[in-house]
């Protein structure tokens, strides 16, 4: 197992993500979880990551069950506060204590504010919710050893958020892989976190499994280098090569995946320049959006004052795959800054050196946003779960 140093801790570079355990009749298949976790621990994995909402609140419990036979100080446990899923202001400390109880522990080695975006940041920082102050108290009381946050917003928000809370956080978990390196500007986020002297944690190194099973055509391009290496191993080796990455989370749900990942993390094998070029070539072939470089030439003349590159980031993300993340980022904008506010004057298209037909793209984005999945719908069942856990009427 490859290990990383983090403030004197020896963390397995492969972190076990517990958001994808297999469900059987609405319950987690505990036998498979136990088998996977036993195997991971035997081969040196010592970092386990869960979150309050994962698998309808059942991930924390299943993980605790699988870990109960191991001494508490033999592994690192990470959990997250669901500020993005609250039904309204709640007793944050009581909710934190629910997670401690479900995880059968009295402290978390790592604790994160879950899913900071342009929308959720308003809740996390609101005085009415006072989340950050409350969770900070848990840190001061020693119930949290290391404090961080997971992040799905854009680089500008990341920079601003870190500046506003300088000295509070020790690590940031971002979505990063060879596709999102450019598609979600993960490179810039990685550089910002590193500049602030914090550790980088990686989630979605295989983009929800999409980079683990490539098309036949793309897979063939990698088989040229090694007939036996899996597509996933290249995605992991890409993020392993980033110096400031301490933990790479993989949401494993089958024993064969655990074995393949353990194999990839047994020793570090840097990518050759040719392998890296091939991965970026594959990334380009997967993109379906527009080639916006973020130069902002288009913004100066926009009569509606729209943040066009931000909107195009959301468009590109939505075009790649239908996830809630770009939709939540659009939720974070005022109505007069959403794509529907574009009046189609065309000034931006004239200014764009990439010849992007911005008004047409924004009209399409507006349609996709309005007809696509909505966070407010997805989160309803979580509201009920939180009310029930806190015994709220
Ligand atoms: S077409 Fe839309 S985005 Fe472009 S300048 Fe006009 S209002 Fe702004
Ligand atoms: S001018 Fe074109 S490339 Fe530059 S930010 Fe605007 S849309 Fe993107």
pLDDT score recorded for residue 378? 79
Is 393's pLDDT higher than 60? no
pLDDT score recorded for residue 376? 78
Determine which helix (DSSP H) or strand (DSSP E) holds 224, and give its type and residue range: none
Which atom number of ligand 1 is nearest to the Cα of residue 311? Answer: 3
Nearest CA to ligand 2 atom 2: 352
Whole-number percent of the chain with pLDDT over 70: 99
- 295-322 residue pLDDT tens: 898 999 999 999 999 999 999 989 887 6
Predicted TM-score of the model (pTM): 0.89
CB 183 within 8 A of CB 147: no
Is 200's pLDDT higher than 80? yes
Please state, in angstroms and as integers, the Cα–Cα distance from residue 49 to each residue in 119, 125, 193, 232, 236, following that order: 24, 24, 20, 20, 17
Is 323's pLDDT higher than 80? no
Ligand 2: lining residues by beta carbon, under 6 Å: 292-298, 308-309, 312, 351-352, 354, 356, 358
Instruction: Tell me, letter by letter, the H, E, C secondary structure of 25-45.
Output: CCEECHHHHHHHHHHHHHCCC
**CA angle (360, 361, 367) in 5-degree steps:** 95
pLDDT score recorded for residue 322? 67
Q: Is 105 left (phi over 0), alpha (psi -120 to 50) or beta?
A: beta
Nearest CA to ligand 2 atom 4: 295
Is 384's pLDDT higher than 90? no
Sorted by sequence, the CB contacts under 8 Å of residue 217 that are 6+ apart come out as: none
Looking at residues 87-112, what average pLDDT do you find? 96
Looking at residues 312-339, what average pLDDT do you find? 90
pLDDT score recorded for residue 388? 87
Greater confidence (355 vs 51) lies with: 51
Counting ligands in written order, the one closest to the CA of 342 is: 1
Query: Which of 155, 182, 296, 311 gets mutated to test ligand 2 (max ligand atoms within 8 A of its CB)?
Result: 296
Domains contained in the chain, CATH given: 3-280 (3.20.20.100), 290-393 (no CATH)
CB distance 361 to ligand 1 below 6 Å: no
pLDDT score recorded for residue 232? 93
Nearest CA to ligand 1 atom 3: 342
Which of 2-6, 334-338, 378-382 has the least mean pLDDT?
378-382
- 238-288 residue pLDDT tens: 999 999 999 999 999 899 999 999 999 999 999 999 999 999 999 999 988
pLDDT score recorded for residue 24? 82
pLDDT score recorded for residue 44? 97
pLDDT score recorded for residue 295? 85
pLDDT score recorded for residue 26? 84
Which of 96-110, 202-216, 218-232, 371-385 has the least mean pLDDT?
371-385
- 31-67 residue pLDDT tens: 999 999 999 999 999 999 999 999 988 999 999 999 9
How far does residue 367's CA lie from ligand 2's centre (Å)? Answer: 21
């Amino acid at each position: 197992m490859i290990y990383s140093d983090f403030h004197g801790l020896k963390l397995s570079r492969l972190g076990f993500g517990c958001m994808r355990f297999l469900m059987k009749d609405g319950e987690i298949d505990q036998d498979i979880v136990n088998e996977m976790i036993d195997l991971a621990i035997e081969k040196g994995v010592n970092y386990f990551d869960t979150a309050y909402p994962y698998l309808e609140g059942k991930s924390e419990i299943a993980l605790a069950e699988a870990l109960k036979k191991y001494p508490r100080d033999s592994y690192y446990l990470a959990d997250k506060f669901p500020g993005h899923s609250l039904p309204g202001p709640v007793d944050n400390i009581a909710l934190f204590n629910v997670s401690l109880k479900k995880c059968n522990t009295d402290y978390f080695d790592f604790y994160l504010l879950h899913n900071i975006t342009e929308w959720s940041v308003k809740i996390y920082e609101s005085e009415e919710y006072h989340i950050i102050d409350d969770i900070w108290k848990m840190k001061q009381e020693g119930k949290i050893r290391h404090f961080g946050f997971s992040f799905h917003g854009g680089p500008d928000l990341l920079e601003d958020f870190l500046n506003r809370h300088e000295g509070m956080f020790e690590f940031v978990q971002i979505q990063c892989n060879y596709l999102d390196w450019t598609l979600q500007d993960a490179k810039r986020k990685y550089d910002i976190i590193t500049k602030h002297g914090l550790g980088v944690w990686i989630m979605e190194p295989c983009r929800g499994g999409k980079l683990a099973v490539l098309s036949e055509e793309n897979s063939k391009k990698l088989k040229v280098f090694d007939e036996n290496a899996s597509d996933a191993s290249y995605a992991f080796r890409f993020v392993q090569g980033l110096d400031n990455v301490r933990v790479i989370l993989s949401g494993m749900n089958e024993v064969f995946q655990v074995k393949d990942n353990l194999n990839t993390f047994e020793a570090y094998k840097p990518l050759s320049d040719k392998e890296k070029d091939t991965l970026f070539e594959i990334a380009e072939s997967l993109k379906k959006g527009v080639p916006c470089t973020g130069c902002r030439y288009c913004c100066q003349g926009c009569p509606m004052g729209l943040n066009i590159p931000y909107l195009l980031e959301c468009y590109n993300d939505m075009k790649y795959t239908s996830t809630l993340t770009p939709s939540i980022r659009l939720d974070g904008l005022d109505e007069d800054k959403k794509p529907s506010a574009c009046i189609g004057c065309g000034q931006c298209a004239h200014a764009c050196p990439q010849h992007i037909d911005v008004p047409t793209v924004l009209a399409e984005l507006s349609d996709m946003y309005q007809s696509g999945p909505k966070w407010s719908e997805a989160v309803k069942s979580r509201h009920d779960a939180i009310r029930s856990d806190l015994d709220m009427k």
